[in-house]
Structures are given as structure tokens and as C-alpha cells.
Amino acid sequence: MTALPPTSPSWLPVLSGLHLVLGLGLALWTLLFLFRIVLTWYPQVDLSRGAMRLIGAPTEPVLAATRRVIQPIGGVDVTPVVWVGLLSLVRELLVGQQGLVSQVLMRAQAGLVG
């Protein structure tokens, strides 16, 4: 077990902020991909117009690159499902209850208390 660097009052808020931003960012991106999955049931929806751009613009570049690697299965684009799984895994590994950033934050807080 390695010792953590000494924590200072200025270091802990940065780590807490990183934890919060990572958690919210990954959750938001997962939500956008979930919306993309639901919108595949409605092919008439144009993701380049109106409020739908908020869903299409951040997800389409990633999905387009992934579609070159993973072809549609039976005519169904599975890439949004793949990204929901990947993002959920990354979120759990980083900011989940046993995630890396969560563990460092908990140990840093315990070091300040103890």
C-alpha cells in the first residue's frame, strides 16, 4: 500500500470537483446515448434540427467512428448500446462507489480527519 501525498485544504476541493465533474459528465453523455437508442425507434426524427441537435451533435461524431468498426446487426445500429455500456463501465471504474477517484477522495478525507 502506498502512502498518499499530504493533503492540503487547497488540494481536496480540486479532487472533489474532479469527482463531481467526471460523474456528471459521464452520466450526461450516457443519457444522451440512451436518448439516441430511443430515437432509433423514430427514424423520421431529424437530429440536425431544433432541440434534437442537443442530442445529435455530441453523439454523432463518436457513433460515426464506431460504425466503421461495428457494422449494423440485422439492419440495427447497435453502436449507441455499445457506448452506453462503455460509458457505464468507465463511470463505475472512476467515480463509482469503489472507483479510483472515489477511493482517492475517501482516503484524502480520512487523512484530514484522522
Q: Is the pLDDT of residue 6 over 70?
A: no
pTM: 0.80
Give the long-range contacts of residues 61-69, CB within 8 A, separation 24 or more.
Answer: 63/36
Residue 49 to residue 26: CA distance in whole angstroms: 24
2: helix, coil or strand? coil
Q: Is the pLDDT of residue 4 over 80?
A: no
Residue 84 to residue 94: CA distance in whole angstroms: 15
| Least confident span in 32-36, 72-76, 86-90 | 72-76
| pLDDT the model gives residue 5 | 56
The answer to whether 26 and 90 are in contact (CB under 8 A) is yes
Mean pLDDT, to the nearest integer, of 29-46?
90
